[in-house]
Amino acid sequence: MTGTPLDLLIIGAGPAGLQLAAFLEQDGTRDYLVLDGAPAPGSFFARFPRHRTLISINKPHTGSTDPELNLRLDWNSLLGDRTPLFTSYTERYFPDADVMVRYLADFAAAAGVRVRYNARVARVHRGEFFEVTDTNGETYRARRLVVATGVSRPYLPPIPGIEAAESYDEVSVDPRDFTDQRVLIIGKGNSAFETADNLMETTTLIHVAGPSSIRLAWQSHYVGHLRAVNNNFLDTYQLKSANAILDGNVREIRREPDGDGFTVTFSFSRVNEVLKDIRYDRIILCTGFRFDPDIFDDTCRPELVIRDRFPAQTDEWESVNVPGLHFAGTLSQVRDFKKSTGGFIHGFRYSVRALHRILERRYHDVPWPVEKISVDATAVADAIIARVNRTSALWQQFGVLADVVTVGGVDARYHEEVPVDYFARVGLSTDDHQVTDAFVVTLEYGPDHDKVDPFDINVGRIAQNAAGQAHDAAYLHPVVRHHRDGAVVAVHHLAENLENQWDRPDVHGAPLVAFIDRCLAR
């Protein structure tokens, strides 16, 4: 505990902790350390998902040699100059989780990150500095703390008798252990349906229950909703094959007097809260996980949100009530909860890069990386179009991260991957570049995109490359917003395109040049 405190201490050597450490190591200017309670990185993936198939896309064969563009179809690789890509480890579209464990170990070694393993954090105290004590009795001091532990504690819904249920993180994954049994699965996410698919062949019946409607990822565009790889169970329900999905609340779980099974009371959403008792042999709880705040004492306990499942955060991924306490990885999804990809590797690898830049700018006066361009409508439009046609960050973190072109005097500067909310609050002015105008570039889906069935050909859609109707397009497309004096004063949509190539001079280029020219002339 003696000596100079670290600039930054990171708790957790999962993907987010390793990613941040790799950026720090690459810069080589900050004194940092990563702590992890396991003997190796990525311990989460050594246990989860329980049935060992990842739902993150892995596609080595893209037809492109552009490494930036390829990251659109590589949801598992971390970012680095000298580090491996996950796509070189397997060709499986949905890989085995053990491959991720091996990849993260190799990434940590290649990046040369400073990690202390077998150092599980027991207590965090805030005095002049953060003081973090591990279970070995070692204490570390740091000016700033980044927690990248993920959601590690199962979430228990407030249901009387819930303690009788078996938790997803502990229940057997051997289908033979459920032979001829009636099984209730509480939860309607991927873990619930992954579990149901695993048990369909041996059980008498399976009911999947929860108060909310099932959200399908292919319709909502949120990859945490139910994925097609896990939805075989839906066929067995709709085709009347013994299984069912129950829409409603579990009111109570009661163990049978003879100890053989359970009676569960439901109130059904579709039939005016009618109550019904149903008997089961086993109950499995698949209601997700939450952040574990128990390591924090009263000097720095972060405020929680979303049924106390996540720490509340600012647009700098900082605790709203504990200055200097930041979050990375799965915990950072509070900022785009169930809207974009902040809770997944292919999203938070870019959020972590933005966090690193925010910390450098805020605490060390390091400006956001820029490329200077001409203050000319054609030059600005060309720079924007070149980026939207290949960027992975804006593609993955749609509506959350933006490229920002700032104009100040005779100078224009291109800033990549800036959090939209952070820019709106802080801006990007520097001593030598006082911003008067800015063009904020995002990739976004259209309004009510999640209410349209993409497979219903009777539902009309905007024709691709229809520049005049681009603002009504449902599919992912670039949006450029003109900011002046801290307010959005004009918006331009680029027409959607099937191949995601927004480079037709007449459809994309000329309308964008005209828009920027009008904005700069005001």
Instruction: Report the pLDDT value the prediction gives residue 466, as an integer from 0 to 100.
Output: 67
Range 476-495 average pLDDT: 95
E-only strand ranges, 1-49: 6-11, 32-35
Structural contact between residues 521 and 375, judged by C-beta atoms closer than 8 angstroms: no
**By the 8 A CB rule, do 25 and 59 touch?**
no
What are 69-125's pLDDT values in tens digits? 999 999 999 999 999 999 999 999 999 999 999 999 999 999 999 999 999 999 999
CA distances from 513 to 77, 393, 449, 466 (A): 35, 24, 27, 17
CA-CA distances (angstroms) from residue 350 to 12, 77, 318, 357, 391? 18, 11, 16, 11, 11
Can you tell me the distance from the alpha carbon of 413 to that of 68, in angstroms, rounded to the nearest whole number?
21
Q: Give pLDDT, residue 169.
A: 92
As a whole number of angstroms, the distance between CA 349 and CA 75 comes to 10
Of the two residues 187 and 462, the one the predictor is more confident about is 187
Q: What is the pTM of this model?
A: 0.93
The stretch 229-240 carries a mean pLDDT of: 86
Kindly report, residue by residue over 469-484, the tens digit of the pLDDT.
777 777 899 999 999 9
Asked if residue 464 has pLDDT above 90, the reply is no
Residue 215 has pLDDT above 70, yes or no: yes
Residue 449 has pLDDT above 70, yes or no: no
Cβ–Cβ < 8 Å for 52, 97: yes
* 342 neighbors 400 (Cβ within 8 angstroms): yes
The pLDDT of residue 461: 60
- Is 179's pLDDT higher than 70? yes
Checking if the pLDDT of 459 tops 90, the result is no
What string of DSSP letters covers 74-136? BSSPPP-SS---GGGT---SS-BHHHHHHHHHHHHHHHT--EE-S--EEEEEESSSEEEEETT
**What is the Cα–Cα distance from 82 to 296, expressed in whole angstroms?**
35
pLDDT at position 115: 98
Contacts of 464 (CB under 8 A, 6+ apart): 495, 496, 497, 498
* Distance between start and end Cα atoms, the chain: 58
Q: Note the pLDDT of residue 463.
A: 62
Q: What is the pLDDT of residue 240?
A: 81
Kindly write down the DSSP assignment for every residue of 157-179, as one continuous string.
---TTGGGSEETTTS---GGGGT
Note the pLDDT of residue 474.
76
3-class secondary structure, 369: coil
What is the rounded average pLDDT of the residues 424-442? 95
pLDDT-derived band at 513 (thresholds 50, 70, 90) equals very high
Mean pLDDT, residues 269-287: 87
* Tokens, residue 41: 């990185």
Q: CB neighbours (10 Å) of residue 92?
A: 13
